[in-house]
Structure 1
């Protein structure tokens, strides 16, 4: 089992005092757009038949890295306004792509870079060099693309201007992004792409459903009739004109404010139909004792007098695990979260990190190979380390809302998907701190 020894050392720099909520909240919030939707839309726009517009695009580190990557390889992405415009270009140059900590850039852009006639070099932050990408690179090699270096960052894609495409087999048990990466570029391959998964079940399937839905919206034919097989037909990609939904996974800490305070939080513009994994919060919070309602005003969560523990398989919605684990540490009965071994390969080993940080604050946590067991125990103040992981920061501020003296190290890592998160969070509660 992986443990603390798998985590990169973190330097504590000015840990941020997390606001403590002393009374039930009653707030309504409008959240920034979805990173997952924004980055998929930008990539499809870069290989479309004409100019595109991505409306209400999320402006965050991850999305700006995607815009920078697509610009580097030859597209034109104008991020100056709220609505971003994308003009496809000739992928005919050598370029360097900075992946930062964006898994979507590291995994989604190489299959597009394979269409270039240049050498496209990929690298990123130090933490990013530990995240898996080898299955995507192996698939591209199987499709005839030359890629220098090994199966981690840094690496270089040497394109020839076209990709034959065809059948390819991947083991996507560590990340659904391995599948999405190939599907998103597949329509531009000469034979399209026929992706077959072999291995343990694919995690985070809603993200693949999101990819398929977005491809079909752009006129791309995708066959999903056979389990663990996705076939994209070759053909045009229509220009994108899409308004980005709020990021529902980023709603987790805000809805948690209602859960831990016994108050009410409404998130505006919650979609009635969505492929975002964050929509699972509706049922999860209801299972924990909250009252949840969806209306024209948005999604409203009202917190109970005390939170119930839960037994959940979070395999398909692993990105919610840090926030849910934090709530479980504040519940009155034990919890068991399973099906999430794959989140060990996210920005950090999230299972080890959560077990370490919650235990340090007094929680009783048992780290499983694929999850966590959490038994209620009195919590106390201390520094909550984030390991350069925005979801870990979300967990820290949730604990801080209910426990005195919590300080969150490097809360600025939340800029990955939510710029100015700390000031926005504090500004919600001026009378409660």
Structure 2
């Protein structure tokens, strides 16, 4: 691999990091940059915008428009930086000691930079099957930003034979990951003076009851089912945000909390949601409404990213192991868009530069050596598709 190629990838990574494509903002400026870059190389691209038009996924194909190609998929959004103790500006790439720092450097603009850096090489390769480049949005929030593009494959776009989602795995081949369901519960009570609790219904107290039950269920899931390929080897529940109440001496009118379930393959999110709902119906809601009628507890599953189940010997696994010169796969506990590709019937693996240990942290970084390994992988892929 030439120094020019690695330098091109680093320069592209710096440009991508500079776009503050946090999930609650538009990714259109970043997509416009990628479109212009691809167009300068004679590569056409196609947008798949969201309903409001402020975000879009992008699909570009290099090589013949035939079935049997390979998708290289990554997301453009990143997590927020507010409240994190960065030692340098998070949206300005900093290079030090073989590491490239910046929000998204690892998760997962490093992979996107490598793919884009390889476009000139892809174009000069005698590809017999295409390489499809997919860049999505909202992976960090709903994992739904790639679904419109996925629906195109096999219809008005060629059907690929394999997908590589470039989330950070240290360039190991992950053939399985957990699902994630993001869930919101809203408790509506009835305000009254705190000295006279029989005149109202305390939404915060009811929410605390449900949160406590989620914690109890989390401890139950620690007992099984278990899969030693994952760390931790069990499904997990977690309450991340809670808001409620007006003042110390007022029974709270409303309290809402956001929680999640990360399930082993085969453990469906509907199971814990149903368990929580059973507690609400039999314990929490009767307790909340014991003095007044009208308070409610509602739970909504906002988004589900399905698990990626292992498919030993699949086209994606066989290809990725050959390209990485490895004879083993791993499983990861974080969720990706891979499950949506697999649900569409396309064999999928996760393999990308960097470590998930660096993701979502201040001073996020990717090792330069990991970019080099990713570029070598992509070069080998071009060779594979040229045979």
Query: Structure 1 length normalisation: TM-score?
Result: 0.23
Larger Cα-atom Rg:
2
Greater length-normalized contact order (CA 8 Å, ≥ 6 residues apart): 2
